[in-house]
């Protein structure tokens, strides 16, 4: 794409990158394979007759690492997926063909930031704090926004600032992590969310030293309601700019049968 065409497309808009950088050693859940990046071929390993050389990469990663989206095949309850199918039988052949991430169409939708941390007067919600229905209602009132069916609703706790402090701080295994619980997840469903996202390692309130023992929000959203989940998002720039409504753009990798995919979501806002 030429610089002139890119300038024409982006003129008059501000783009917020809501994805985290992916690098070896980045904070991630211990439940998923570690991200690794290496150069199996380096410049100079092979030089063509004309002097040209190339480098290439090998990436090994879980699909729920970094900023990523959960497909509906990711979580089951009592042995059943969202469509009522048997979770074990659905994976025969090593792929979820009906509810895998390849079935998620590219998203271009209205997005809303729900900056709960600011509503509560916090830079960061306390560790292990459960974001309540009342907190979410108060956030809508403070920001003057109203969700509509099909929106993408992003819940900011402020916990994202711990990403740069490493896995121990961001994962919050000892401290706990703020987020919605079952009641908050039902609130999001009742308000018509097509997908939801958060600035935490899991879209859940995680109890201190509780880890991922119980994930009621995942059950309500993925299994009961068919609402996609986006985790480990970067939301502070939107909050600082007080941008609460935007065009949300996201495309998963077309990984046939996978339970999730790394993503780089964008929030696009028309300049005043």
pLDDT digits (tens, 9 = 90+) for 167-183: 999 999 899 999 999 99
- Percentage of the chain modeled with pLDDT above 90: 89
Decide: 251 and 4 in contact? Cβ < 8 Å: no
C-alpha distances (whole Å) from 243 to each of 150, 161, 272 are 19, 18, 12
β-strand 195-198 against 228-231: which pairing, if any? parallel
Question: Which tokens go with 72?
Answer: 């509906």
Per-residue pLDDT at 1 = 53
The residue-averaged pLDDT of 2-26 equals: 81
- pLDDT at 10 (0 to 100): 64
Beta carbons within 8 Å of 244's beta carbon, 6+ residues apart: 112, 113, 115, 143, 144, 145, 238
**Model confidence at 6: pLDDT above 70:** no
Is residue 213 over pLDDT 80?
no
Model-level pTM? 0.94
For residue 7, what pLDDT is reported? 63
Q: What pLDDT is recorded for position 5?
A: 53
**pLDDT reading at 146 higher than 90:** yes
**Structural domains in the chain, sorted by start:** 3-20+63-270 (3.50.30.50)
Per-residue confidence (pLDDT) for residue 31, from 0 to 100: 87
pLDDT for the residue numbered 91: 94
What is the per-residue pLDDT for 212?
72
Among 239, 263, 251, which residue's Cα sits nearest to residue 112? 239
The pLDDT-based confidence of 9 (bands split at 50, 70, 90) is: low
Q: Residue 101 pLDDT > 90, yes or no?
A: yes
> What's the average model confidence in pLDDT over 56-83?
97
Can you point out the beta strands (E) in the chain? 13-17, 36-41, 56-60, 68-70, 107-115, 130-131, 152-156, 179-180, 195-198, 228-231, 245-250, 260-262, 266-270
> 22 and 63 in contact (C-beta within 8 Å)?
no
Report DSSP letters for 97-109, one per residue: TTTSGGGSPPEEE
Q: How confident is the model at residue 2 (pLDDT cuts 50, 70, 90)?
A: low
Question: How confident is the model over 23-43, as a mean pLDDT?
Answer: 93
Hey, what's the torsion of the CAs at 253, 15, 222, 198, to 10 degrees?
120
Least confident residue range of 21-30, 146-155, 184-193? 21-30
Instruction: Give the pLDDT confidence score for residue 3 in this predicted structure.
Output: 67
* pLDDT reported for residue 11: 75
CA distance linking residue 179 with residue 155, whole number of Å: 8
**For the segment 116-142, what is each residue's pLDDT rounded down to a tens digit?**
999 999 999 999 999 999 999 999 999
**pLDDT for residue 8 is more than 90:** no
Residue 4 pLDDT exceeds 80: no
């Amino acid at each position: 794409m030429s610089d002139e065409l890119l300038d024409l497309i982006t003129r008059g808009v501000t783009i917020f990158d809501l994805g985290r950088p992916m690098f070896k050693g980045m904070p991630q859940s211990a439940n998923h394979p570690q991200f690794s990046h290496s150069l199996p071929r380096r410049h100079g390993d092979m030089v063509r007759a004309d002097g040209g050389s190339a480098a290439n990469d090998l990436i090994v990663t879980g699909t729920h690492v970094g900023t990523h989206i959960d497909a509906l095949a990711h979580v089951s309850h009592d042995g059943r997926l969202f469509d009522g199918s048997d979770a074990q039988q659905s994976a025969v052949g090593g792929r979820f063909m009906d509810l895998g991430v390849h079935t998620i169409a590219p998203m271009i939708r209205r997005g809303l930031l729900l900056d709960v941390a600011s509503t509560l007067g916090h830079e960061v919600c306390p560790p292990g704090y459960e974001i309540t229905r009342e907190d979410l209602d108060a956030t809508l009132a403070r920001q003057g926004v109203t969700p509509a069916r099909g929106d993408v609703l992003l819940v900011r706790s402020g916990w994202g600032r711990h990403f740069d402090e490493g896995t121990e701080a961001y994962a919050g295994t000892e401290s706990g992590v703020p987020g919605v619980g079952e009641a908050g997840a039902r609130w999001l469903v009742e308000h018509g969310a097509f997908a939801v996202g958060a600035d935490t390692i899991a879209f859940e309130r995680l109890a201190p030293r509780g880890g991922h023992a119980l994930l009621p929000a995942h059950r309500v959203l993925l299994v009961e309601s068919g609402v996609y989940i986006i985790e480990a998002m970067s939301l502070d720039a939107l909050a600082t700019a007080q941008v609460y409504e935007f065009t949300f753009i996201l495309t998963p990798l077309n990984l046939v049968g996978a339970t999730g995919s790394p993503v780089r979501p964008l929030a696009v806002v028309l300049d005043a």
